[in-house]
Structure 1
């Protein structure tokens, strides 16, 4: 009975630890890092998702080696990734990094990326509707053979 109780406590603690890692990036290797980022993005609203994506890829661009990058993102939450992305942005902006001169601030860059994403989604939605209409028309298109 005592063994069963100990086993249940260990199982419960393991479950709590595993559930707690659900909001963090698993930086064991690139595959697990990308997989955990994908899962985190799916749980986020549109606005913070874009900021998270931009931050993640900014960090990736700054940390060229896989090992250095994985060390930087392992165990980080989306909020921590965004903060690290902002730091890198500011360092690059201050050093005159090409491409950042067109943005006045981090918020400006994120708002422009958000606007681009909204335009892409709107355009994609229009294309999806037109392709559905075309498929619908083809399904309803009946050719009669009059002989």
Structure 2
């Protein structure tokens, strides 16, 4: 009976330790990285989500080695990934990276990506399915 409170205390402590990394990317392998990124981006606001996604994929594009990429993102929070993405953007822009000359800065690039995403979402909702017209219940009298 005396062991039960001690066991319960140990169980609570281990669960708290395990849950404390909920805001970090798990970089043990590629699958866990993508799973972590998916969970993290769903918790972010729409503006921060776009910045996070762009930063993550810029890092993925710039670090060719799988193990180096896993080490670079392991344990990072979304804010840290965004900061790394901004640094990488500035380095690429200063080096004349193709495609970045049309943006005046990081915020301009993120705003244009956000607008493109909104336009894509609007186009997805406006497609009419021919089956819907065939099943229209409004009759002409």
Q: Does 1:28 align with 2:47?
A: no
CA distance in 2, matches of 1:58, 1:95: 15
Residue matched to 1:116: 116
Secondary structure at 1:64's aligned position in 2?
A: coil
Residue matched to 1:80: 80
Normalised by the size of structure 1, how large is the TM-score? Answer: 0.86
What is the root-mean-square deviation in Å for CA atoms of aligned residues? 1.5
Residue matched to 1:97: 97
Cα deviation, residue 82, structure 1: 0.3
CA distance in 2, matches of 1:122, 1:68: 38
Residue matched to 2:51: 51
CA distance in 1, matches of 2:91, 2:10: 45
CA distance in 2, matches of 1:10, 1:135: 59
Higher helix share: 1
Normalised by the size of structure 2, how large is the TM-score? Answer: 0.89
Match of 2:132 among 126, 130, 136: 136
Unaligned runs of 5+ in 1: 142-147
- Figure out how many residues of one structure are paired with residues of the other and give that number: 137
CA distance in 2, matches of 1:70, 1:107: 27
CA distance in 1, matches of 2:4, 2:69: 42
CA distance in 2, matches of 1:140, 1:108: 44
Unaligned runs of 5+ in 2: none
